[in-house]
Amino acid sequence: MRIVLQRVSQAKVLVDEQAIAQIGPGLLLLVGIGPEDGEGQARFLAEKIANLRIFEDQDGKMNRSVLDVGGQAVVVSQFTLFADTRKGRRPSFTGSASPAIAKPLVERFASLLEEKGVPTQCGEFGAHMLVELGNDGPVTIILEQ
């Protein structure tokens, strides 16, 4: 699993010009699934992200988690995180999991975040989405498991 985590002041996901997910302060999580990924990776990353101290405390230090600040999350499936650009000019996506593997694992990851206490909304798997965000900081972190 590969996740691009962005600390946001707000985020919104639109499909066909309709908002399907919208949060205030929290996390935008772009999630890529590899063919060998499973429950263990999803569980580990949900725990890590829920408790990752990337929000500022009263002294301006990154010392608080999304749980500590009462933030929310938006999970967006993004197979392009497994793009291979080593050859040619067109990326290959053969390193990403098939939709039959990826869709249920992305959904499971989102439910695990919810179980950890992070209110979580999701984009629409396989849809063309417009993702709007205010990258706060900016803070952008890549996680892989």
pLDDT score for 17: 96
Assess if CATH 3.40.50.300 describes domain 2-144.
Answer: no
Contact indicator for 123, 74 with CB cutoff of 8 Å: yes
Nearest 5°: phi and psi at 136? Answer: -85, 115
pTM score, two decimals? 0.95
Question: Which token pair is 57?
Answer: 């405390």
E strand or H helix at 89, and its extent? none
Active site residues: 78-80
The tens digit of pLDDT for each residue in 78-93 reads: 999 999 999 999 999 9
User: Pairing between strand 72-77 and 26-32?
Assistant: parallel
